[in-house]
Amino acid sequence: MKILYDTAMPYANAFFSGLGDANAFELGSLNSEALVDVDALFVRSTTKVTAELLQKANKLQFVATATAGFNHIDVDYLERSGITWYAAGGCNAVAVAEYVIGAILQLAHEDNFNPFDKKVAIIGAGNVGTALSQILDGLQLNYVLCDPPLQEAGDRRSFVDLTDALQADIICLHTPLTSKGKHPTLHMLGKEQLLTLSAHQYVINACRGEVIDNDALLNCYSLGQHLNVVLDVWENEPFINHQLIPYVRLATAHIAGHTLEGKARGTSMVYDAFCKHLNLQSQLKLEQFLPRFENNPMVNSSNSSFNQLFQLVKYMYDIKKDDGIFRARMAKSKAFAAIRKHYPIRREFSAAEVTFCTEEADETNKKNVAKIAASIGFKIAN
Ligand SMILES: NC(=O)C1=CN([C@@H]2O[C@H](COP(=O)(O)OP(=O)(O)OC[C@H]3O[C@@H](n4cnc5c(N)ncnc54)[C@H](O)[C@@H]3O)[C@@H](O)[C@H]2O)C=CC1
Ligand SMILES: O=C(O)C(=O)[C@H](O)COP(=O)(O)O
């Protein structure tokens, strides 16, 4: 059994070497020759799995991506060719939701608004959208959901349409990239939609760059429209339009899902799916591999509730730092792919145990913040 996997899949050798002759490929190095006699191919979103790449894949029976999105895979071709495929939907849902919360609290801090008074719209209420809604529930922030496919399929949550969603204060995009079907998302926010937005609203795109028409966005900015947009994803990655960067409020290199947990869960879900395909019992579990988080956060309970939560979230994920690195490196070169490749280890809230430094007078405040922190995933020290 010959297995090829992307080197960017954490713990892949440990997971796959017991299942066959497992070898890694480096980003950008895969070609059709390398797929001769390969039985299983495991990728991340940076490898386009096309008919052309697979033209010499004489033995391929299973293709999997250790990512939620699968628009980089020609699934029609795989299905026509009798090749089983799998995408690790949900592997990094919590990571993206934590990125979005990091962005909202950072913007609230910079623009001096109270996030608890704002309404969030979650467009795309699947794995990521649901993980985000759970954190918003924990923080007691108001939100609406917009997901016509789920609504039509009978999902019992309550939904609004796109026009209503675009009136929310903070609009978060969590759809797949699709260009066919009844509800395509390609350029879902085009010129017409962007022109309806006001200077008091915020748009956060952490799904796929092409869901916002980037040329239309640049045009709005060039014409003087004030738009608060956070972009983790861009059209035409990694060769994005640099002209957009100075206008964007927070800019990152498609790393919203890049927690250690999110990436490693992708590997482990691919392993489980492949074992199932082979009719084998999975032997390995993600928990065997994840290291303990050593630098647990401490929070001062004499600060306001907002500041304590902001401090805590920023300790685990500082979006402003990623934004600074992005701007500095992108100013000098086409560093998009390199920033992603060398992204430092980031952990999810659930890895950390929080200690509160509390004077007696702050005890009630501490209890309130600790309850909220626990409800968004943190462990609380006794
Ligand atoms: N920035 C990053 O690092 C990451 C980006 N992603 C992207 O986010 C996307 C969503 O991820 P998941 O939640 O795991 O996928 P999912 O498939 O669980 O959820 C997507 C939801 O979007 C809905 N949807 C589809 N078309 C829609 C439309 N026109 N309007 C509103 N909703 C629509 C679907 O019904 C579904 O419920 C992925 O497809 C991927 O492209 C995912 C993880 C990490
Ligand atoms: O899961 C997805 O979908 C994503 O967008 C991933 O976070 C992308 O990560 P890479 O595969 O590009 O490292």
For the chain, domains (ranges, CATH) are 2-87+259-288 (3.40.50.720), 93-251 (3.40.50.720), 298-380 (3.30.1370.170)
What pLDDT, in 10s, does the model give residues 123-155?
Answer: 999 999 999 999 999 999 999 999 999 999 999
Contact between 2 and 59 under an 8 Å Cβ cutoff? The reply is yes
Average pLDDT over residues 303-322: 95
Q: Which residues carry a binding-site annotation for substrate? A: 45, 67
Give the pLDDT confidence score for residue 365 in this predicted structure. 84
Does ligand 2 have an atom closer than 6 angstroms to the CB of 69?
Answer: yes
CA of 67 to the centre of ligand 2 (A): 5
Known binding residues: 45, 67, 147, 175, 232, 257
ipTM above 0.95, yes or no: yes
Q: Is 209 in the pocket of ligand 2 (CB under 6 A)?
A: no
Residues with CB under 6 Å of ligand 1 are: 68-69, 89-90, 92-93, 96, 123-129, 146-150, 174-177, 183, 185, 188, 206-208, 232-233, 254, 256-257
Q: Long-range contacts of range 43-50, CB-CB < 8 Å, 24 or more positions apart?
A: 43/5, 43/6, 43/72, 43/73, 44/6, 44/8, 44/9, 44/266, 45/69, 45/72, 46/6, 46/8, 46/72, 46/337, 46/340, 47/6, 47/72, 48/72, 48/73, 49/73, 49/74, 49/78, 50/74, 50/77
Confidence of residue 364 (pLDDT cuts 50, 70, 90): confident
What is the reported pLDDT for 44?
A: 98
pLDDT band, very low/low/confident/very high, at 361 (cuts 50, 70, 90): low
Q: At residue 248, does pLDDT exceed 90?
A: yes
Cβ contact 314:106 at 8 Å: yes
* β-pair partners for 353: 379
- What's the whole-model pTM score? 0.98
- Catalytic residue set: 208, 237, 254
Place of tokens 């992204």: 343
pLDDT confidence bin for 362, thresholds 50/70/90 = confident
Q: 128 alpha carbon to ligand 1 midpoint, in Å?
A: 7
